């Protein structure tokens, strides 16, 4: 027994020692962090415990940091793990760091994956030497003499000119084919550099390696270097290399060394033979050998120069070509200049100084798209003051060249591509003007700038002079999006929490512990990645109504297109906000789950280049209003399944909160309520969404006008309303000016509409609008609801009055416009009649055209691609039929590129809202009674509003038109959750019959399988949210977090 205990103790000793060491190291790190926080520093966003702001950086950190600069100023700070990072985003801040205090900021932050770091050769590195010391100065001077001096540059010109013409000959073999400009430019630059450095070709223009995979290694080095590294976030963990990134870096370095080794060996042997031959060829490798450099030092320098010179140069050429393609007038001007100035068969470097406009084009594209948008990270070698902020010693400092190049304080019309701004400018690439620093400035400026500013314009001029360019498949160059489509990433964990918004404890669905869920805040054409974790006890799908998911119904989040996410599983949604703006919301789409929460706002902002049709508001508020039951969705489901009506709601919530106690009889004491804080005289945008179950609501703010400006992604003709009806699933934006005297706070009201008000008094949500100079609390009666509750003829005048603002720009710079119905060829007309719920096959069901839809076990498109027969039927009737009601899987077979007219005929007794996924539609008509063909005479043919959710009055009809240009399977449903649950929906199948034409995107790699395809499903169980940063073992990261928490406890 004693032996066993001794063995166990021995086995546990090393892990225990490691664990205690981690605790000590983290306690020490946290102590350093604490002292750092006590010093004044530049402002910045809230930093989360442990990770700081690391999760906010996304895939395009330069864009994220540029956006943060708009909030926190030109010099701000973030915390990445335990590292304080100061970010300079203006000319003034860059001048301070790169010029005025250049010596203090001459240190270099060296990432853990850099070979020179883990080889202990930082002092012999050109780019990653931590200090500007004697070794660094000697190495830089040597490279300057051999590679980058005027004499050296001139001596290399014939080689560069030859490689440029090699590129021309290769492209001519591809005439009429699609080529990738960046890959061609990469091969040309790489070949130039390897010949200058070691007189060898290592790749050809097919990017096939001559020397065993060099181009692949270079690209992999970029990928490893760009990956977020926990060793950089927490340097105390660097020895453990938790993500194996240093290991991968070593593998790549060894592959490069193996390729360089025979070249270096052959050169050393040749030098021994030709030692006395002064006439033998001398390149950079010869110089290094003559100076006594070791093989390892040579490997490091060659690798650094190749990595630094290839991707940046090819990126600059690619962006320049893209901008010129998008602006054909400038491309034509550049080509005319080349035609006038180049008289020989090939472009020579001596021609370049005469190409003034070409240089202007190149500078303009590098202003907008600097090859290194964040300059290599500096490090403060001492504490100092910058712009009245304290920068602690050893802080990492980033200069955001991307943000500086787009700063309106430095550039007129900064987002426009206008090469002519550089024609009469003495601005150069040398960093003399810190508003234009694609190569940096000061002691740490890129040493290769003299060479790059020869081969980049040479290759760009060659591409423009010898070839005419167009986009493949006839695409319009004006549709090229130059924003690089940044990606925004969110992690959603859906779980239950207990809250009491109406004074009764109840289980609600929260997103990341929040009810309602967090804002998804994007911009036109952003890519969106949302990692969803289902911690509910039932299946889940998230839907994004109004987000059109162009050609991508795989991400739509409804049962007809997606298999559900099982409990305790993760699934990632990935889609683009293609050509959209506006106010929307998301929610769980299955089985009345929205009635228990899980919803949150989704805002798509205009790109900065697109002007909004009103003055920029002073603030932006989101209000999620909706009727609410104190019974959760499972209880509501049970009611419907047993044939009962849901009955009157228990109240109305505003942003998940109950009503302000405006009436001591109706409202219990102690309820949390929503308060909106404003300043007098300012104008704010209110984005209001009805996220409720089934009740239309009237929205109003006491004493204030509501200026309607947008409905679900389309700007409206601006009209003032004292109150506005918002139906289930609808979203509206209002501008509200704070023009009252603030004698007291003001009521924000959302009350039930088209009901018996005396019976529904409690179904009223009340919040507070609080002026900063308010003199007291809100008291007295609520502002009156519209007086036409029982006069629906009058009520219908409000939606009929909404008009499209046809002169405003939407997601694109051209006006929104509107289709003129008289010029439209309607290919399909569907009259969809809804009836009150009835018993079908012994169950309470709701119908459209007599069909109560049953979601197929195998989603529609998945069934198509896998030849699953009988999953659904393409026989949905185009008009109501005189036959018994039935449950079925009938869908609409719509015509691609056709124009569908849908008549929504509400023969039910309740107000309904209808929604169409994948599309916006024009609301051309609305009236009472039964629609007939004569009703088309009342259509609005000129400026009808475009929406994705529209109300249909009981006993009336609404007509909508939609252009069917979005291939996929798209849900058409009633938004009232009770009717939707009971089957009042169908799908539109829109497939391009031309096999060579535009088709839907293929299924994503993580597509879920169910129904007849369930056997194909792989386990997608729990995945820690930190995987996006760790790129490795989530259990290890969890253990790491536990060690951090233990360290916090010890430290405290």
Q: Give pLDDT tens digits for 970-1022.
A: 999 999 999 999 999 999 999 888 765 567 888 888 899 999 999 998 765 44
Looking at 479, 495, 521, the residue that finishes a domain is: 479
CA distance 589 to 985: 13
Q: Is residue 57 part of a domain?
A: no
State residue 54's pLDDT score: 87
Task: Name the strand (E) or helix (H) holding 875.
Answer: none
State residue 15's pLDDT score: 47
State residue 948's pLDDT score: 97
**Any binding-site annotation on 563?**
no
Question: How many domains are contained in the chain?
Answer: 4
* Residue range of the domain that includes 698: 613-817
Q: Give pLDDT tens digits for 574-586.
A: 999 998 999 999 9
Q: How confident is the model at residue 850 (pLDDT cuts 50, 70, 90)?
A: very high
- Residue 271 burial (CB count, 10 A): 15
State residue 611's pLDDT score: 79
Looking at 817, 839, 858, the residue that finishes a domain is: 817
Q: How confident is the model at residue 439 (pLDDT cuts 50, 70, 90)?
A: very high
- Residue 356 burial (CB count, 10 A): 14
Q: Is residue 26 part of a domain?
A: no
Question: How large is the angle between the packed helices 150-172 and 449-466, nearest 10 degrees?
Answer: 30
- Residue 911 burial (CB count, 10 A): 23
- Quickly tell me which residue has 């130059």 as its tokens: 482
The torsion of the CA quartet 718, 724, 729, 734, rounded to 10 degrees, works out to: 40
pLDDT at 594 over 50: yes
State residue 243's pLDDT score: 85
Local structure of 321: helix, strand or coil: helix
Q: Give pLDDT tens digits for 472-521.
A: 655 667 656 555 556 788 899 999 999 999 999 999 999 999 999 999 99
182 with 328, same domain: the answer is yes
Q: How confident is the model at residue 1027 (pLDDT cuts 50, 70, 90)?
A: very low
What is the 3-class SS of 54-97, one letter each residue?
HHHCCCCHHHHHHHHHHHHCCEEEEEECCEEEEEECCHHHHHHH
- Residue 931 burial (CB count, 10 A): 18
Q: How confident is the model at residue 633 (pLDDT cuts 50, 70, 90)?
A: very high
Write the CATH number for 603.
2.60.40.420
Report the range of poorest mean pLDDT among 50-54, 94-98, 438-442.
50-54
Nearest residue to 594 via CA among 505, 684, 656 = 656
370 with 444, same domain: the answer is yes
Q: Is residue 661 part of a domain?
A: yes
Q: Is residue 606 part of a domain?
A: yes
Q: Is residue 232 part of a domain?
A: yes
State residue 6's pLDDT score: 36
CA distance 288 to 294: 8
Give the angle subtended at the CA of 422 by the CAs of 418 and 428, to the nearest 5°: 135
Lookup: tokens for 862: 């998945």
Q: Give pLDDT tens digits for 185-241.
A: 999 999 999 999 999 888 777 655 444 467 777 777 877 887 788 899 999 999 999
Lookup: tokens for 57: 């950086």
Q: How confident is the model at residue 270 (pLDDT cuts 50, 70, 90)?
A: confident
pLDDT at 817 over 70: no
Report the range of poorest mean pLDDT among 34-43, 783-792, 958-967.
34-43
Q: What are phi and psi of 634, to 5 degrees?
A: -70, -35
CA distance 437 to 88: 13
Which residues is 602 bridged to in the sheet? 520, 584
Q: Which residue has the higher pLDDT, 122 or 844?
A: 844
Q: Which residue has the higher pLDDT, 369 or 1040?
A: 369
Q: Which residue has the higher pLDDT, 87 or 2?
A: 87
Is-contact 528 555, C-beta < 8 A?
no
Local structure of 196: helix, strand or coil: helix
Is-contact 137 431, C-beta < 8 A?
no
CA distance 954 to 284: 83
pLDDT at 1052 over 70: no
Nearest residue to 803 via CA among 927, 923, 943 = 943
State residue 530's pLDDT score: 94
Question: How large is the angle between the packed helices 245-273 and 295-326, nearest 10 degrees?
Answer: 110
801 with 831, same domain: the answer is no
292 with 319, same domain: the answer is yes
Dihedral of alpha carbons 414, 419, 420, 425, sign? positive
- Quickly tell me which residue has 């198509």 as its tokens: 864
In percent, the amount of the chain with pLDDT more than 70 equals 88
CA distance 419 to 439: 19
For the chain, the straight-line distance linking the first and the last C-alpha, in angstroms and rounded, comes to: 39
964 with 1007, same domain: the answer is no
Q: How confident is the model at residue 825 (pLDDT cuts 50, 70, 90)?
A: confident
Q: Any residues with CB less than 8 A from the CB of 200 and at least 6 apart, and which?
A: 194, 210, 211, 263
State residue 91's pLDDT score: 96
882 with 800, same domain: the answer is no
Write the CATH number for 237.
1.10.630.10
Q: What are phi and psi of 717, to 5 degrees?
A: -60, 130
Structure letter (DSSP) for residue 859:
-
Q: Is residue 5 part of a domain?
A: no
199 with 274, same domain: the answer is yes
Q: Are strands 527-534 and 487-499 parallel, antiparallel or unpaired?
A: parallel
- The mean pLDDT of 372-394, rounded to a whole number, is 95
Q: Give pLDDT tens digits for 616-631.
A: 999 999 999 999 999 9
Q: How confident is the model at residue 374 (pLDDT cuts 50, 70, 90)?
A: very high
Most distant pair of Cα atoms in the chain: their distance = 109
Lookup: tokens for 579: 């050509």
Nearest residue to 1012 via CA among 890, 887, 856, 854 = 856
Looking at 461, 479, 497, the residue that finishes a domain is: 479
CA distance 918 to 968: 8
Q: Any residues with CB less than 8 A from the CB of 521 and at least 6 apart, and which?
A: 488, 603, 605
593 with 714, same domain: the answer is no
CA distance 915 to 1044: 48
Q: Is residue 758 part of a domain?
A: yes
Local structure of 836: helix, strand or coil: coil
Is-contact 595 633, C-beta < 8 A?
yes
Local structure of 193: helix, strand or coil: helix
- Quickly tell me which residue has 């560069």 as its tokens: 160
Nearest residue to 411 via CA among 99, 98, 91 = 91
Q: How confident is the model at residue 705 (pLDDT cuts 50, 70, 90)?
A: very high
In percent, the amount of the chain with pLDDT more than 90 equals 67
pLDDT at 813 over 80: no
Residue 1025, CA distances (Å) to 225, 404, 484, 530, 902 in order:
22, 33, 26, 11, 43
Local structure of 711: helix, strand or coil: strand
Look at the chain and count its residues. 1052
State residue 213's pLDDT score: 61
443 with 591, same domain: the answer is no
Local structure of 838: helix, strand or coil: strand
CA distance 401 to 407: 10
Lookup: tokens for 886: 């039935």
950 with 866, same domain: the answer is yes
Residue 721, CA distances (Å) to 496, 709, 725, 726, 821 in order:
38, 11, 10, 12, 28
The torsion of the CA quartet 114, 117, 120, 123, rounded to 10 degrees, works out to: 100
CA distance 136 to 130: 9
Alpha-helical runs (H) found in 659-796: 792-795
- The mean pLDDT of 338-351, rounded to a whole number, is 92
pLDDT at 725 over 80: yes
Q: Is residue 41 part of a domain?
A: no
Q: How confident is the model at residue 789 (pLDDT cuts 50, 70, 90)?
A: low
State residue 34's pLDDT score: 47
759 with 881, same domain: the answer is no
- One DSSP character per residue, 892-928 reads EEPPTT-EEEEEEEE-SSS-EEEEETT--EEEEEEEE
State residue 999's pLDDT score: 76
CA distance 334 to 352: 12
- The mean pLDDT of 241-252, rounded to a whole number, is 89
- One DSSP character per residue, 335-387 reads HHHHHHH--SSS--GGGGGG-HHHHHHHHHHHHHS-SSSBPPPEE-SS-EEET
State residue 454's pLDDT score: 96
768 with 871, same domain: the answer is no
Secondary structure E strands in 836-984:
838-840, 843-845, 851-853, 886-888, 892-893, 899-906, 912-916, 921-928, 946-947, 949-952, 956-963, 968-974
Q: Give pLDDT tens digits for 899-928.
A: 999 999 999 999 999 999 999 999 999 999
State residue 908's pLDDT score: 94
Question: How large is the angle between the packed helices 181-198 and 214-226, nearest 10 degrees?
Answer: 110
- The mean pLDDT of 676-682, rounded to a whole number, is 97
Q: Give pLDDT tens digits for 141-169.
A: 989 999 999 999 999 999 999 999 999 99
pLDDT at 29 over 60: no
Question: How many contiguous H segments (helices) and E segments (strands) does the chain have?
Answer: 23, 40
- What average pLDDT does the chain have? 87
Residue 460, CA distances (Å) to 181, 235, 854 in order:
10, 42, 59
State residue 226's pLDDT score: 79
């Amino acid at each position: 027994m004693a032996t066993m205990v001794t063995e166990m103790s021995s086995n546990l000793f090393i892990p225990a020692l490691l664990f205690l060491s981690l605790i000590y190291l983290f306690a020490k790190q946290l102590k350093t962090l604490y002292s750092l926080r006590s010093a004044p520093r530049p402002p910045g966003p809230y930093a989360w415990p442990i990770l700081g702001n690391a999760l906010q950086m996304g895939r395009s950190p330069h864009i994220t940091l540029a956006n943060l600069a708009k909030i926190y100023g030109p010099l701000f700070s973030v915390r990445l793990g335990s590292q304080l990072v100061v970010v300079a985003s203006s000319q003034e801040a860059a001048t301070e760091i790169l010029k005025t205090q250049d010596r203090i900021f001459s240190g270099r932050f060296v990432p853990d994956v850099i070979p020179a770091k883990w080889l202990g050769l930082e002092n012999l590195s050109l780019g990653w030497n931590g200090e500007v010391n004697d070794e660094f100065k000697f190495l830089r001077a040597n490279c300057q003499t051999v590679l980058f001096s005027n004499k050296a540059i001139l001596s290399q010109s014939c080689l560069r000119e030859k490689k440029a013409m090699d590129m021309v000959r290769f492209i001519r073999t591809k005439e009429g084919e699609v080529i990738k400009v960046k890959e061609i430019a990469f091969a040309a630059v790489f070949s130039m550099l390897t010949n200058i450095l070691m007189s060898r070709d290592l790749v050809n223009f097919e990017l096939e390696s001559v020397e065993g995979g060099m181009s692949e290694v270079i690209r992999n080095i970029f990928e490893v270097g760009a990956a977020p590294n926990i060793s950089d976030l927490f340097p105390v963990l660097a020895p453990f290399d938790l993500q194996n990134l240093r290991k991968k870096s070593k593998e790549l370095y060894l592959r490069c060394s193996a390729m360089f080794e025979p070249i270096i060996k052959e050169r050393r042997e040749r030098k021994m033979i030709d030692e006395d031959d002064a006439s033998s060829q001398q390149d950079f490798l010869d110089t290094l050998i003559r100076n006594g450099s070791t093989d390892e030092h040579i490997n490091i320098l060659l690798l650094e120069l190749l990595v630094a010179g290839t991707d940046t140069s090819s990126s600059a050429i690619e962006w320049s070509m893209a901008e010129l393609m998008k602006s054909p007038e400038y491309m034509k001007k550049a080509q005319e200049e080349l035609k006038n100035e180049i008289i020989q068969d090939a472009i020579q470097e001596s021609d370049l100084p005469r190409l003034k406009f070409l240089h202007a084009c190149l500078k303009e594209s590098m202003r907008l798209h600097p090859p290194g948008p964040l300059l290599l990270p500096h490090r403060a070698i001492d504490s100092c003051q910058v712009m009245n902020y304290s920068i602690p010693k050893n802080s990492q400092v980033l200069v955001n060249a991307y943000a500086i190049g787009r700063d309106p304080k430095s550039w007129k019309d900064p987002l426009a591509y206008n090469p002519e701004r550089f024609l009469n400018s003495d601005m150069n690439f040398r960093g003399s003007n810190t508003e234009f620093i694609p190569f940096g400035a000061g002691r740490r400026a890129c040493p290769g700038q003299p060479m790059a500013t020869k081969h980049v314009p040479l290759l760009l001029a060659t591409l423009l002079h010898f070839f005419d360019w167009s986009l493949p498949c006839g695409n319009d160059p004006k549709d090229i999006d130059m924003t690089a489509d940044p990606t925004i990433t969110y992690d959603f964990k859906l779980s239950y929490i207990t809250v009491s918004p109406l004074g009764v404890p109840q289980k609600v669905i929260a997103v990341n512990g929040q009810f309602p869920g967090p804002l998804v805040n994007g911009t036109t054409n952003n890519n969106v990645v949302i990692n969803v974790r289902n911690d509910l006890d039932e299946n889940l799908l998230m839907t994004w109504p109004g987000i059109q998911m162009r050609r991508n119904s795989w991400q739509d989040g409804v049962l007809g297109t997606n298999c559900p996410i099982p409990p305790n599983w993760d699934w990632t949604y990935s889609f683009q906000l293609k050509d959209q703006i506006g106010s929307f919301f998301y929610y769980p789409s299955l089985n009345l789950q929205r009635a228990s929460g899980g919803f949150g706002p989704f805002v798509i902002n205009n790109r900065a280049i697109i002007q909004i049709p009103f003055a920029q508001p002073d603030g932006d508020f989101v209000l999620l209003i909706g009727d609410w039951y104190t019974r959760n969705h499972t209880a509501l489901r049970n009611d419907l399944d047993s044939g009962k009506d849901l009955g009157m709601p228990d109240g109305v919530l505003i942003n998940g909160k109950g009503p302000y106690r405006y009436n001591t009889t109706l409202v219990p004491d102690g309820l949390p309520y929503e308060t909106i804080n404003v300043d007098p005289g300012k104008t704010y945008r209110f984005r209001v969404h009805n996220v409720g179950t089934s009740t239309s609501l009237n929205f109003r703010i006491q004493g204030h006008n509501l200026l309607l400006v947008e409905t679900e992604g389309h700007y409206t003709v601006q009209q003032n309303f004292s109150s506005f009806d918002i139906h289930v699933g609808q979203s509206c934006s209002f501008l509200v000016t704070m023009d009252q005297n603030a004698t007291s706070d003001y009521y924000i009201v959302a009350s039930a509409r088209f009901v018996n008000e005396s019976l529904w008094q409690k179904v009223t949500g009340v919040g507070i609008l609080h002026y900063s100079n308010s003199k007291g609390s809100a008291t007295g009666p609520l502002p009156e609801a519209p007086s036409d509750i029982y006069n629906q003829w009058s009520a219908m005048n409000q939606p009929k009055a909404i008009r499209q603002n046809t002169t405003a720009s939407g997601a694109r710079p051209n006006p929104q416009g509107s289709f003129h119905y008289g010029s439209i060829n309607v290919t399909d007309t569907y009259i969809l009649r809804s009836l009150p719920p009835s018993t079908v096959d012994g169950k309470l069901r709701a119908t459209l055209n007599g069909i109560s839809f049953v979601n197929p076990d195998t989603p529609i498109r998945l069934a198509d691609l896998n030849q699953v027969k009988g999953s659904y039927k393409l026989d949905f009737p185009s008009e109501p039929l005189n036959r018994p009601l039935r449950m079925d899987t009938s869908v609409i077979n719509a015509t691609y590129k056709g124009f569908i007219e849908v008549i929504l005929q509400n023969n039910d007794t309740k107000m309904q809202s209808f929604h169409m996924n994948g599309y916006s539609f024009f609301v051309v008509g609305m009236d009472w009674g039964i629609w007939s063909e004569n009703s088309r005479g009342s259509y609005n043919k000129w400026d009808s509003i475009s929406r994705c959710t529209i109300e249909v009055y009981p006993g009336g009809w609404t007509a909508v038109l939609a252009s069917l240009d979005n291939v996929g399977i798209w849900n058409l449903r009633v938004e009232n959750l009770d009717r939707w649950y009971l089957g009042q929906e169908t799908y539109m199948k829109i497939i391009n019959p031309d096999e060579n034409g535009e088709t839907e995107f293929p299924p994503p790699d993580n597509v879920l399988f169910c129904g007849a395809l369930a056997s194909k499903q792989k386990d997608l169980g729990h995945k820690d949210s930190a995987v996006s940063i760790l790129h490795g073992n989530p259990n290890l990261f969890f253990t790491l977090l536990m060690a951090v928490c233990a360290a916090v406890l010890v430290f405290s």
